[in-house]
Amino acid sequence: MPCRSLGPALATVELRLRYILDARDNLSGFVEAIALKKKTGRSEADWIENFYLRHPFVRRFIADNETEFVNQEVLGMLKRLCVPIKLIEPYHPETNAPVERGHRTLKNTIAKLAADNLESWHRYLKQTVFSEHMTPKRTMGCIPAELWYGREIDFFVEALIPTWNRLDDDPRMTTEELIEARCQQVLKNEEVMEDIANRVLDSRMRDKARWDQVVEKLREANFKINAKKCEWEKTQVLYSGHVLDGNGIRPEDSKTTAIRDWSTPRTLIELRSFLGLANYYRKFVRSFSTITAPLRRLLKKEAIWKWDRDCTSALKKLKRALIEYLVFKVADLSLPFVVTTDASQYGIGVVLQQDDGNGYRAVEFMSARMPSEKVATSTYERELYALRQILDHWKHYLLRRHFKVYSDHETLRWLKPQAKMTPKFTRWAIEIDQFDFELKPIKGKYNVVADALSRRADYFGAMVHYLDIGRDL
């Protein structure tokens, strides 16, 4: 392992570094280097010792016969570590073309990289050394780091005891006391590792208990599964076009990519295919009905195919909404649900939420047009119709559970005192009465999300069309 001190180099302003000390392996070309202020026996002995303690498989060192290597610090340290050193003439180095080329490459590369800022040449030393580690050698066909780290350690651990004594806080400790201290440290580390292992084991046992519950439920339902087609301990699950992970539920990336790259529909069949895929993920898109209104207008029987600016704008908005989707919280059946609803003459807007301790998070959106026969009726009837639709839409979440409904109209208080009700109201009341919920009034200015989902311009267009009041307006 030849050692060489290069320099003097141009001194840095802030650190006054002038020299480079490097150690290079003859066989592999592996090299390590450090920038030094002065060439002293103590500094070079410390670095060579540090190098050997990190790479204890070096068989011998080759160094110039100079004062920085021929001194008590360097020679005594190498003797203690049982590493021989071969000294050669400083101005007539041992003939070794690869090593000499390596020294020149190191100096020339640093000089070229630091050409614009010579005062900071030492900052490029590590990058230059790393590049030499990772550059394949033509004669070997592999990188130096491969050969270097593939060798075996060839020295006794007892050789480190003097170094431990020197670095220890209390230099008066005997070797026996030092070894005892190291043993105590090892035992402490073993306790820490045992604690970590126990926690991992407890976690695996809890996971196994959950798996047993799943398997037991499948057995009770007489449901058979193929073990080769099952996956366990996954951080995320792909199911029916959705991705479920610790953050929540979101659309599958390949599906949203397909929607993003979908070309402009040119026929009615292509438009139906596109809307069919987008409609599958409508729960992730706020105001889905609003955005797709110009596109759905082309699906009517009496409509004439005419792709205009509104259709192009709707297509772009829908693609952007599906790409910038909101990650929904996975519904936790142990937490209460909160439904915020609003109904206007234009449509229905609802948000299903849960509080997981970090504030309310959306579980799902719902947005729909108000049917034409409900447009001209009273506000109470529209709110009652909206409530009925919401409860039916999310009955798999809400049935047999207590939940809260926030609305800016006290619909049920209007319904209960009615002496006579039409058959339609009676049927709606019976359907609503199956659910256990508490109605909470909320002012319209605070009902932002649901209000935004229901009061949209395209819903107003539906009212104008169905009531035939366009001329009056």
What pLDDT sits at residue 460? 38
Q: Tens digit of pLDDT for each residue in 271-295?
A: 888 888 888 888 787 777 778 888 8
What pLDDT sits at residue 440? 82
What pLDDT sits at residue 337? 92
Name the residue with higher pLDDT: 94 or 90: 90
The SS3 of residue 405 is strand
pLDDT-derived band at 208 (thresholds 50, 70, 90) equals confident
What pLDDT sits at residue 393? 87
359-365: long-range pairs with CB below 8 Å, 24+: 361/248, 361/328, 361/329, 362/326, 362/328, 362/329, 363/328, 363/329, 363/330, 363/331, 363/337, 363/397, 364/283, 364/328, 364/394, 365/283, 365/284, 365/285, 365/286, 365/288, 365/453
What pLDDT sits at residue 5? 56
What pLDDT sits at residue 462? 39
What pLDDT sits at residue 6? 55
316 pLDDT more than 60:
yes
Q: CB within 8 A of 237, min separation 6: which ones?
A: 243, 244, 245
399 pLDDT more than 50:
yes
CATH for 236-323 is 3.30.70.270
Q: Supply the DSSP string of 128-175, one letter for each residue.
A: HHHHHHTSPPTTTSS-HHHHHTTSPP-S-GGGGHHHHHHHSS-TT--H
209 pLDDT more than 50:
yes
pLDDT-derived band at 472 (thresholds 50, 70, 90) equals very low
Q: Average pLDDT for residues 223-229, to the nearest whole number?
A: 83
Q: Average pLDDT for residues 213-230, to the nearest whole number?
A: 85
> What is the C-alpha separation between 149 and 172, in angstroms, rounded?
36
313 pLDDT more than 70:
yes
Among 111-120, 215-224, 393-402, 412-421, the least confident range: 412-421
What pLDDT sits at residue 402? 92
Name the residue with higher pLDDT: 33 or 174: 33
Share of the chain above pLDDT 70, in %: 69
What pLDDT sits at residue 13? 45
For 337-467, which CATH class? alpha beta
Name the residue with higher pLDDT: 287 or 405: 405
Does the domain formed by 2-166 have CATH 3.30.1180.10?
no
Q: Tens digit of pLDDT for each residue in 42-61?
A: 888 888 888 877 777 777 77
Share of the chain above pLDDT 90, in %: 1
Q: Average pLDDT for residues 26-33, to the nearest whole number?
A: 76
pLDDT-derived band at 181 (thresholds 50, 70, 90) equals low
pLDDT-derived band at 29 (thresholds 50, 70, 90) equals confident
Backbone phi and psi for residue 347, each to the nearest 5 degrees, phi listed first:
-175, -170
262 pLDDT more than 60:
yes
Q: Average pLDDT for residues 316-328, to the nearest whole number?
A: 79
350 pLDDT more than 80:
yes
What pLDDT sits at residue 182? 62
Q: Average pLDDT for residues 107-114, to the nearest whole number?
A: 76
Mean pLDDT of the chain: 73
What pLDDT sits at residue 142? 67
What pLDDT sits at residue 210? 80
pLDDT-derived band at 180 (thresholds 50, 70, 90) equals low
> What tokens were used for 332?
């936790």
